[in-house]
Structure 1
Amino acid sequence: MVVGGGGSLHVLEAVYERVDGYAVAREERTRLRKAGQFEKTEALQYGEIDFAGFLNVLEAAEPREGDKFVDIGSGTGKAVLLAAGQYQLGSAVGVEIVKPLHELATEAKERFYSQCPDAPTPSNKCSVVLGDSFALTNLWLDADILYCPCTCFTEEMMAALTAQMKHLRPGTRVISTSRPLEVPCLSLTTTLRAKYKRGTLQFYIYTRNAQAAAAAATTTDTEAATDVHKTGAKHDGDGHNSSKMKQDKRAKSANNKGNGTGVKQPTNQPHSQHATRQQQQQPGEGKGGKRAGKKHKNKKGKRGKRQQQEQGSEKRSKMM
């Protein structure tokens, strides 16, 4: 869906003809080393797209009118301005952490729009931002096409990047370079090798899964419900859960009613103690147990007397 055609492409080539991002990045690394900030130079390995080569990559990502394109690590802004100059996007955004590269991108944008004021994506919808992409996720988690030039990312940066993939919207297309993104919520749709400023580069294009998004939403809802439940349970000064204490009191009250006594029973073994008492009861005990026991003894005594009388009668009969 190329709209801008070759006109804006020729303008971009002219705009960047004398822009050397490689030299600027090299100077920045030298400055950081002299300042003793060696850790900051590890991921500062610069690379640039080739306009024709990256246009093939963008076409494979199938841009649609109104899409938001974001480049996290935009350098001098080449990918951002190419997308803005070729497609009717809702917005085109680039985020770059190296200030000298960001300044070159700002200048390139001004020159491009001065020569292409009618570019498919207007100037007010195209922006380059100075900052850390991982601290500015609000700028790209709602992207429709997310470009991640991660060829030289450290392992820490790759971990941070993949952790954010689950927060993308379903249907988002993600473009990575050199290194595949092994994330369950992303489906690989295209791989292609395209020309780069220096040599060629492997590109991977993914689509954010709708099923994974639904699962993530369910997990989030469950976690939120759990948090609400935990928050709703108040604690006293000793750290006890007052909600559980109320439940224990209700259990004690119910147990006491069941025993028919006014004595509170321990709540840890209400059923076993009640059963033990039942097992200890003898026949005739329980409700009215004493009266029943007396009757049982009286009947037994009468039967004994009757038997004695009968036995005495039998003896007398024999003697006669």
Structure 2
Amino acid sequence: MDLAHAQEVFKRLYQDVPGYDIARTEKERTGLKEAGTTYGEVVPGAFIEVLLEAEPKAGEVFFDLGSGTGKATILAALAFPFSRVVGIELLPGLGDAARGVLTRYDAEVRPTLPPEHQGQRIEFIDGDFLQQDLSTADVLFAHGTCYGPETMAALTQKLTEMKPGSRIVMAGQTLQSPDFAFVKMKVMRTDWGTALAAVYRRR
């Protein structure tokens, strides 16, 4: 899809989704208030620019860790010809909001898209991404600005189950492991400021 059109569709889908309010309510309800559950949102154009650095290819699989209301996941589906896109989110209320957007997407947007987008599998999984199978991902995005050292160590180990040649876009953190080859660093604009996004390739 044309990137300008993708951003226009995205804006329409999310104009009435109060992500920060949902996240605040969910953190109170679940008691999950640690730094790693801090909510933030991607800026469409900036996210797409960063994901381009991972060189997505038609038919590949995209994973978004800590997907919130699904913004990065839906953007990846709109902007790139992935065969499958998966968002994983710890707070169920945010996952519910993402699935609500997906329902609208399926009804209002998907039928108007080219065949490679109409056939995409889009799914949102509730749970801890450290407990999920990441081995099928070709391109993976994680915004880890608020992840503590223990979470980053566990995530780095978890990412080793990805296949050789797969790419990781890690915003706000770096991967300290010989299993990943550094490709590029890029400044990514977010709704709260900027973050450095590092692109890696699984050796």
Per the alignment, residue 161 of structure 1 pairs with 155
CA deviation after TM superposition for structure 1 residue 114, in Å: 2.2
1:130-175 deviations in Å (ceiling 9; x for gaps): 1211111x2x222100111111112221111011232211111001
Per the alignment, residue 126 of structure 1 pairs with 122
SS in 2 for 1:121: helix
CA distance in 1: counterparts of 2:81 and 2:10, whole angstroms: 17
CA distance in 1: counterparts of 2:136 and 2:62, whole angstroms: 10
1:39-75 deviations in Å (ceiling 9; x for gaps): x311221111000110101111111001100001100
TM-score by length of 2: 0.91
Per the alignment, residue 104 of structure 2 pairs with 111
Gaps of 5+ in 2: none
The structure with the larger Rg is 1
Structure 2 vs 1, CA of residues 11 and 122 (structure 1 numbering), >3 Å: closer, same or farther? Answer: same
Higher relative contact order structure (alpha carbons within 8 Å, sequence separation ≥ 6): 2
Structure 2 vs 1, CA of residues 55 and 115 (structure 1 numbering), >3 Å: closer, same or farther? Answer: same
Gaps of 5+ in 1: 210-320
Give the aligned residue type for 1:15. L
1:16 aligns with 2:14: yes
Aligned residues: 199
SS in 2 for 1:55: helix
CA distance in 2: counterparts of 1:105 and 1:29, whole angstroms: 16
Structure 2 vs 1, CA of residues 189 and 124 (structure 1 numbering), >3 Å: closer, same or farther? Answer: closer
User: Could you say what the CA RMSD is over the residues aligned between the two structures, in angstroms?
Assistant: 1.6
Q: What percentage of aligned pairs have identical amino acids?
A: 30
Per the alignment, residue 50 of structure 2 pairs with 57
SS in 1 for 2:85: strand
CA distance in 1: counterparts of 2:172 and 2:58, whole angstroms: 28
Per the alignment, residue 171 of structure 2 pairs with 177
Q: Which one has the bigger strand percentage?
A: 2
Per the alignment, residue 41 of structure 1 pairs with 33
CA deviation after TM superposition for structure 1 residue 84, in Å: 0.6
SS in 2 for 1:93: strand
